[in-house]
Structure formats: structure tokens, C-alpha cells
Amino acid sequence: MQHAVFPGGERIEFRQGPIPRAADGEVLVRVSYTALCGSDNRLWRGGATYTPGHEIFGTVDQPGHARHGERVCIYIVVHCGRCSTCRSGLTQSCSEISELIGWNRDGGFADFVAVPECCLLAVPDEIDDRLAPLLLDTIGTSAHAVRRVAALLPPSAAGRVLVTGAGPVGLGTLIALKDAGYGRIEVNDPSSERMAVVPSFGGVTLDRNDAERFSLIFECSGAHAARNAAIRTVSPGGAIVLVGENSSPWTIEEDPTFRRKDFYLIRSFYFPTAEHGENIRLLQRQKGCLETLIDLETGPANLASHYSEFAAARYLKPLFNPRGRPDVVDNL
């Protein structure tokens, strides 16, 4: 089969290798689509030991197995299901296993991937193949963050709402907030191209001269400057939800702005498997809006060049098709 190699230096190569063999408790999945994700930029720049790609949709290809032929998304977190964390429902934070598909075990920029059975999330037939990968980071991560804070600040109690970062997770958060009943949602992003699409998703672009405070801030970019700005602008009694990721250290300066107001600082990571059904229903309700996120389909011959354009914010949510033709679908 073909599989992608990220050697570092913003390069991607494709090599031939054996089809993986599923170990005990694993199944082989034939990959249909793997969505590109900005968190892979670290691997694109610095290199990866394993095949990247963690927003995977495909079909179980394991003759004789009870789930053979089933359409599935691949849950990125390998989890034990037995530890106290898993039993409490937080499968994304398993205390016993530290494996992430596409990070420290092979992922979906390939024809096939072998995954633990616990990572199979069934996808109903009525969901289009191209939309299925959105059930993971774009919907799953975003909707979980909204659900986490809704008990503290429901739509009826929330004042001004801000989303920082208008990438796929930021726009997914905007969609989830609208779906949950939140009203006016403002969005900020340094990219003028991404800000231009915000109104089509029901958001309002933030006036950069506006210095007023927000009762609810979803920080989806991972940028330290945006995190620090959120601390400055969150209202007393408000909440900051950290959704975006950053692998470099972040230091909070305990200045008067930080010390002299009550506010919630919440970290939200991925989503528990128990929310998969809710995520499916959200996708079905918001299908029309979510379809517009997918603006490119690419294959092995074009992934290197298109990933570079994606990293430069040229595209929102490209899909990699391992059996894609040399010509691609570009919806921009």
C-alpha cells in the first residue's frame, strides 16, 4: 500500500509498504478520507516517526469479523475502558494508555490503518462519506467544549460571546454555539481570508477597535497572545474555554488583571465516546452549513503541495483520499 511520510522541513513523501496486520483486539480499516488538521503542522515541520493523519473515516476490512464492512470514524485516543477516568466517561483522557492514532501510532494518510476495536465509531449510512470525518475534530472537539461550559453559562445567562480562531475548530465551535441556542457570536482571527467566511456561518466579525469585555470566550487558535488577550477581556464571572492547542510553554502573568476578578479557565480536550451520538445528530441538523467547510479533495500526488497551501490558510478543511485521482476537486 501507499503511505505518507513526513520527514520534516515542510515536506511530504509517499512510499510503498506492506498492508498492516491487525493484532489481537484490532481491526484493519480501509481509509476512505482523512481530513487535514492544523495540529499536524508540527509534524509537517519537525518530522514524524509514524504515518500522520488522525481524522479518519473508512470501512472495516476484516473478513470474518463481526464489524466487517461497517462504515466507521476512528477515535484518535486509544483507551482502556477500565481505569477510573474511562469509567467516569472521560475516555479522551484515559489514565492507563497514552497512544494517539496518527501521532505515536500509524494514522490515516495511507490506504489502510490498523486500529483497536475500541476506537471504532459507527457512522450511519445516511451520512455522506465526505462529511463523516467532520464528526471527529470539527464537530466532536468543538461541541464538547460548548457542552462543557453550557452548564455554567447557558444561552439564557450568557452575555457577549467570542470565538478566537476561525479555523475548522473555531468555525465548528461557532456552529455548535448557534445550534445550542447562543445568540450573537463574535469571531476574531488574524487571517482576513478566514474572517471573510465568518458571516456565512452565522457569526459576526469582531471590530478590532472594540475593547469591551466578553462573558464567554472560546480560544480555538492555540496562540499564546490570544490566550493572554482572553484573560484581559473576559468579564468578571465569565469563562474562558481553551480549545486550541500549543506545544510550547505558556506562562500566565499574575498581574492585577488576572488577580482581581473571578472567572473560569476551562481546558476542553477532544470528546468522550459517549457523545458520538449527539455529534451525529448535530451534523444532521447542521449539514448544510458543515458541507461548506470542505473546500478541497486531494490525493497522494497532490498532498504535499496542498498541505503547504492549507498551512497558509488557503483552505479550510481539505480531505485526503488515498485513492484520489491526480486531478482534484477544489471548491473555492
Which residue(s) pair with 72 in the sheet? 58, 122
Res 169 pLDDT > 80: yes
Confidence of residue 329 (pLDDT cuts 50, 70, 90): low
**Stretch 150-173: mean pLDDT, rounded?**
94
| CA atoms of 6 and 48, how far apart (whole Å) | 5
Average pLDDT, the chain: 94
pTM: 0.94
- Type of residue numbered 325: R
The answer, yes or no, to whether residue 207 has pLDDT greater than 90, is no
- Taking residues 136-160, report their average pLDDT: 95
pLDDT band at 209 (very low <50, low <70, confident <90, very high): low
Q: What domains lie within the chain, and their CATH numbers?
A: 2-130+294-330 (3.90.180.10), 142-267 (3.40.50.720)
Of the two residues 239 and 313, the one the predictor is more confident about is: 239
Task: Tell me the percentage of the chain whose pLDDT exceeds 90.
Answer: 91
pLDDT for 325:
58
pLDDT at 294: 95
Mean pLDDT of 181-187: 94
Residue 212 banded pLDDT, cuts 50, 70, 90: confident
pLDDT on residue 222: 94
CB 51 within 8 A of CB 104: no
- How sure is the predictor about 258, in pLDDT bands with cuts at 50, 70 and 90? very high
